[in-house]
Amino acid sequence: MFDLIIRNATLQDGRQNIDIACREGKIVAVASNIDGDARDVIDAEGFLVTPPFVDAHFHLDGALTHGNPMSNQSGELYEGINIWNRLKDTLTAEEVKDRARRICLWALANGTLHLRAQTDICDPKLRAIEALIELRDELRPLMDLQIVAFPQDGYLRTPGAVETMARAIEMGVDVVGGIPDYELTAALGQQSVRELCELAHRHGLLVDMHTDQTPDPQSRQVETLTAETIRLGLGSRVSASHCPSLANFDDYYANKLMAQMAVSGMNVVVCPLTAATCWGVMTRVGELYEAGVNIAFGYDCVLDPWYPLGTADILDVAHMAVVFGRLMSATQQTRVFESITYQGAKALGIDRYGIAEGCNADLVLLQARNPIEAIRLQPPRLAVVRRGKIIATQPKRSAMLLFEGDERLIDFTQKNLMDTKFDTSLSN
Ligand SMILES: [Zn+2]
């Protein structure tokens, strides 16, 4: 007797007619036609089943504040930081927690069960850190939050930030953050990278810094982070977030840097939606894949001073990554889907992740036949499973055409669009 069996699933590697059996929170069998009964049975009807989505970069503490006290008129990063600083003093831990919880539940309903929250520590009271640590514990039965201690206004530049970083580490954050481009000089930025990597290394924490987060082709912070990753042997424990300047480096320097990033084992976390609003340029996603760099994606911002829209659905991000990055081949688009699943899990260091015996029974059933269709349609998550229990569902999406006395169900798959008999009449 199993707790849950999902029958007739398609997996993202293309395997079809797969059953997935779960017991006591773990996947215990993955095969065709598994014998046995279960408390819950889901018929996947040949749709795609994946491990849960990983959102590797999110500012939960600022989410849902759009327009308060004003909205960002230029869309630029620094205008957003100024608005956030006017708002920050008015926040309470309770209010931050309520907003963050709402976003987490949106993410969860969309199949994201792992989320890394960049959380501002440039507040002597550390209200956001307090809120997010409480929320991380509260939501643990449903999803895993990782908390980054993020010095939004600069680690060396902000009076007291060195001390609040130390306190945030004591309080139990998971990741040490940084923002070297926002330090007063390039040299101080490099110094901050070195000090923060050493700090993380001493405490056994992960590293995730906002690096080269400017279109400036002269920015040189990722190379320092790469060198520190190699010097301290931190490997995949380090992530470089954003990196839009890489798109504007000359090819000689960019190619040398990307090769070193691959050697270091570090991850790159890309946020295509805010790359569009803040800089109008994303990093070199296609070339980083080619260089062998592990890439994760993040939503970054929802309804806040940096992004005026948002759903917390990482498939929205994957869609923008394909479009903005001109990732035209099926291979590249499949890699994008891997980045919101397996590569994201590698970046966050998640254990027992995947669809295999012994993995956690955390799964998502999508109304799509394959990963590329999932990116294109951003379809309903028909079921979201955590430790073998169904924790969210959505109804199937469909549309009915009513035309010349006839009715026809449209399901938006490539096949059905091709063979609908209304094709010619609708185009007249
Ligand atoms: Zn960020």
CA of residue 129 to ligand 1 center, whole Å: 15
Structural domain count of the chain: 3
What pLDDT score does 412 carry?
A: 83
CA of residue 211 to ligand 1 center, whole Å: 10
The secondary structure of 186-201 as a DSSP string is: HHHHHHHHHHHHHHHH
What is the Cα–Cα distance from 364 to 102, expressed in whole angstroms?
A: 20
Q: Which domain holds residue 424?
A: 398-428
321 and 414 in a single domain? The answer is: no
Phi, psi of 326 (to 5 degrees): 50, 50
42 and 181 in a single domain? The answer is: no
CB-based contact 294:236 (threshold 8 Å):
yes
138 and 252 in a single domain? The answer is: yes
The secondary structure of 78-96 as a DSSP string is: HHHHHHHHHHHTT--HHHH
290 and 149 in a single domain? The answer is: yes
69 and 153 in a single domain? The answer is: yes
What pLDDT score does 415 carry?
A: 67
**Burial 185-208, CB ≥16 within 10 A → b, else e:** ebebbbbbbbbbbebbbeeebbbb
CA of residue 290 to ligand 1 center, whole Å: 25
295 and 305 in a single domain? The answer is: yes
Mean pLDDT split into 10-residue runs, the chain, 428 residues: 97 97 98 96 97 98 90 88 88 94 98 98 96 98 98 97 98 98 97 98 98 93 98 98 96 98 98 94 97 98 92 98 96 97 98 98 97 97 98 94 86 59 39
CA of residue 306 to ligand 1 center, whole Å: 10
162 and 244 in a single domain? The answer is: yes
What pLDDT score does 157 carry?
A: 97
CA of residue 83 to ligand 1 center, whole Å: 15
83 and 31 in a single domain? The answer is: no
CA of residue 425 to ligand 1 center, whole Å: 48
Q: Which CATH number characterizes residue 65's domain?
A: 3.20.20.140
What is the Cα–Cα distance from 103 to 132, expressed in whole angstroms?
A: 12
Rg (CA), the chain: 22
CA of residue 253 to ligand 1 center, whole Å: 25
Q: Distance of CA 44 to CAs 112, 164, 252, Å?
A: 19, 48, 48
Q: Tell whether the torsion through CA atoms of 85, 86, 92 and 94 is positive or negative.
A: negative
Cβ within 8 Å of residue 415, ≥6 positions away: none
CB-based contact 99:60 (threshold 8 Å):
yes
CA of residue 233 to ligand 1 center, whole Å: 25
158 and 76 in a single domain? The answer is: yes
20 and 78 in a single domain? The answer is: no
Closest CA to 302 of 100, 54, 4: 100
CA of residue 69 to ligand 1 center, whole Å: 20
Strand order in the sheet with 363-366: 48-50, 363-366, 381-386, 389-393
What is the Cα–Cα distance from 52 to 113, expressed in whole angstroms?
A: 6
421 and 319 in a single domain? The answer is: no
What pLDDT score does 186 carry?
A: 96
CA of residue 365 to ligand 1 center, whole Å: 29
CA of residue 385 to ligand 1 center, whole Å: 28
Question: Residue 415: what residue type?
Answer: K
CA of residue 341 to ligand 1 center, whole Å: 20
Q: pTM higher than 0.85 for the full model?
A: yes
CA of residue 164 to ligand 1 center, whole Å: 19
What pLDDT score does 406 carry?
A: 87
**Would strands 381-386 and 389-393 be described as parallel, antiparallel, or unpaired?**
antiparallel
344 and 361 in a single domain? The answer is: no
CA of residue 34 to ligand 1 center, whole Å: 44
What pLDDT score does 417 carry?
A: 41
Contacts 24+ apart (CB under 8 A), 64-68: 64/99, 64/102, 64/103, 64/302, 64/303, 64/304, 65/99, 65/303, 65/304, 65/305, 66/303, 66/304, 66/305, 66/307, 66/308
